Amino acid sequence: MIVVSNRLPVDHDPSVEGGWRRSPGGLVAALEPVLQRTGGAWVGWPGTADLEIDPFELEGMSLVPVALSAEDVALYYEGFSNDTIWPLYHDVISPPAYHREWWEAYVRVNRRFAEAVASTAAEGAVVWVQDYQLQLVPRMLRELRPDLVIGYFHHIPFPAYGIYAQLPWRKQVLEGLLGADVIGFQRVQDAGNFATAVRRQLGFETKAGAIRVPEPDGAVRTAVAKAYPISIDADLYDELARRPEVQARAAEIRESLGNPKTILFGVDRLDYTKGIGHRLKAYGELLEDHRLDVEDVTLVQVASPSRERVAAYMQLRDEIELTVGRINGDHDTVGHTAIRYLHHSYPREEMVALYLAADVMLVTALRDGMNLVAKEYVASRVDGRGVLVLSEFTGAADEMSQAVKVNPHDIEGLKDAIMTAIEMSPSEQGRRMRALRRRVRDHDVADWSRRFLSDLDAVRATS
């Protein structure tokens, strides 16, 4: 088996022993055991421009680096991936930029990834392509290696046809994706949007997630497009949250904030899709309206640095930090702060301590493929307490029906939802949290990869 993603599961870091640092993410946790079991390979960019490295072995996996020049990073990654596809697929929350030069780089780099896989894969191997940076790889790979079984998983939303249709290269992207045998999405809605775009743009027949794809040789193949909601390693979060040192740290965090009655918590990559501004606006107005008192409540907002060279992200950071400064300036007292804003990344143990310290978790994304933070919060609440406020525009909302649901665009509704969460009785919190925890435990990330891979195996069995 071969996994292909924009980034390898390790970062090149000459300052650590061996030169490689493991990247934490859930995807790595999910796929590493599968690759170790099958002796498979991971193909991806090592995260540093202009770095040419031969394939190497690491902890039972073969890692196959794909080199990107500084220009490739600027045009294919920061440009087409993060400034065209990302905003377009998140319902144009920020205007997508369309540049032919970026598209050409996207094609060129996707081909390089496809060629790296083609020269690594054994006869009849299963290849699993990950995410929107590599949408052309399935088709390119099928042309190079028709013997392979190809899966693709899309981690972000697939937009409604009226939005998708803006993309100047809308046909090429659909054709690229349809090179896969199984195309996985987060939500049923995403798979439906994809099927509609295929029907409208390419005129192919689609029925209940089966798409009839005519091939150049005249044969007609069936590709599967359906939802496989991603999840987390729930046992790991449960285990971390039970550690005495993590629980002690949670108590210490509460203490250091002056033991307020309520701690609200948000943690997101600093991204315009996450609705951080809407969350701050609602919270600021609750203080303004005296429905909340700064002596009783603190909002901890971790905004981890992200895509700092893309202009829209620089502007977002300025806006958020201005808003935080204003709210704190208006409402802080010498002893209490309204918002503790942290523009850092933290180790996972610290994240779990923060989840445990938080009475209310605020997930107010304007659009989000899944949102793993919502699931991590629930998995960490071994005490059966805490309330999740969850945007209905996240993939997680389809599964987490006991959360307090919100439309983040509706600021009055968001304010009411925050108050409902703050005022919820412990018994009601417990009832909802038990159901949410059961859901996340029963549908963890291992279950996600098993479901996807068994559909790919079924394709292999019939081919």
Q: State the binding string over 314-343 for ligand GDG (x if CB under 6 A, else -).
A: ------------------------------
Question: Which of 148/396 has CB closer to ligand GDG?
Answer: 396
Residue whose CB is less far from ligand GDG, 102 or 153: 153
Whose Cβ is closer to ligand GDG: residue 34's or residue 370's?
370
With CA atoms as reference, report the closest residue to 362 among 313, 414, 398, 326.
Answer: 414
The answer to the question of residue 246 lying near ligand GDG (CB under 6 A) is no
Query: Which residues, other chains included, contact 454 with Cβ-Cβ below 8 Å and sequence gap of 6+?
Result: none
Single out the residue of 80, 124, 114 nearest to residue 100, CA to CA.
Answer: 80
- Range list of H helices, 358-425: 372-380, 396-399, 411-423
Sole binder of ligand GDG in the list 99, 111, 155, 385 (CB under 6 A): 155
> For residues 238 and 293, which CB has a smaller minimum distance to ligand GDG in the complex?
238
In the bound complex, what is the minimum distance in angstroms from residue 376's beta carbon to ligand GDG? 5
- Residues in the interface with ligand GDG (CB under 6 A) total 21
Closer of 110 and 133 to ligand GDG (Cβ) = 133
Antiparallel, parallel or unpaired: β 10-12 and 149-153: unpaired
**Options 269, 343, 431, 450; binder of ligand GDG; rule CB under 6 A:** 269
The tokens for 19 are: 């030169």
CA atoms within 13 A on the CB side of 330: 15
Q: Binders of ligand GDG among 389-448, rule CB under 6 A?
A: none
Burial class of residue 454 in the structure, from the number of CB atoms within 10 Å of its CB (0-12 exposed, 13-18 middle, 19+ buried):
exposed
Binder to ligand GDG among 61, 141, 357, 372 (CB under 6 A)? 372
Question: Which residue from 78, 127, 128 is spatially nearest to 106, judged by alpha carbons?
Answer: 78
- In whole angstroms, give the CA distance from residue 359 to residue 387: 6
Provide the mask over 270-309, with x wherever binding to ligand GDG is found by CB under 6 A and - wherever it is not.
--------------------------------x-x-----
Length of the chain: 463
Given candidates 56, 98, 204, 346, which one binds ligand GDG under the rule CB under 6 A? 346
- Rounded CA gap, 354 and 364, in Å? 18
**Of 186, 86, 179, residue with least CA distance to 141:** 179
Query: By CB under 6 A, is residue 371 in contact with ligand GDG?
Result: yes
What burial class does residue 296 get, using C-beta atoms within 10 Å of its C-beta: 0-12 exposed, 13-18 middle, 19+ buried?
exposed
Pick from 24, 33, 39, 55: which binds ligand GDG (CB under 6 A)?
A: 24
Of residues 82-141, those binding ligand GDG (CB under 6 A): none
- What residue ranges bind ligand GDG (CB under 6 A)? 24, 26, 155-156, 230, 267, 269, 302, 304, 345-348, 351, 368-373, 376
